[in-house]
Each structure stands twice: as C-alpha cells, then as structure tokens.
Amino acid sequence: MSHWIMGILTGLLGLAGLLMAGAARDFGILAFGLALALYAVLFCWWMVKTAYDEIEQE
C-alpha cells in the first residue's frame, strides 16, 4: 500500500479516536479513543522519519 494511503487512513483512524474520546461517557472508551489517537500520531511521525531516512541514504 502507498505511504499516502496509509497516512490518510491512519489520520482518519486518529480522528475517529478523538471523536470517540470526546463523546465518551466512561473511562474505557475515553482511554481507548485517546490511545487510538496517540497511535495515529506516532505512526505518522514514524512514516515521516522513514521517508527522511530513505532520502538520506540516497
């Protein structure tokens, strides 16, 4: 899968996590939504890092 597609899907997943956390009525959903958003941010940062590492190797 393309890096762009993975980044967009992960960003949408993180946005869904924030929406879940915003509408949460109990701690479990709040924690899951925030963890999902954190995963999305870290995954996108990792994708940016690997792209710059590939550029440096050239």
C-beta pairs of 15-20 under 8 Å, 24+ apart in sequence: 15/40
- Global pTM? 0.85
CA 17 to each of CA 24, 47, 51, 58: distance values in angstroms, whole numbers, following the listed order: 10, 19, 25, 37
Q: What is the mean pLDDT of residues 8-17?
A: 96
For the chain, which residues make up each domain, given as ranges? 3-50
For 28-50, write each residue's pLDDT tens digit.
999 999 999 999 999 999 999 99
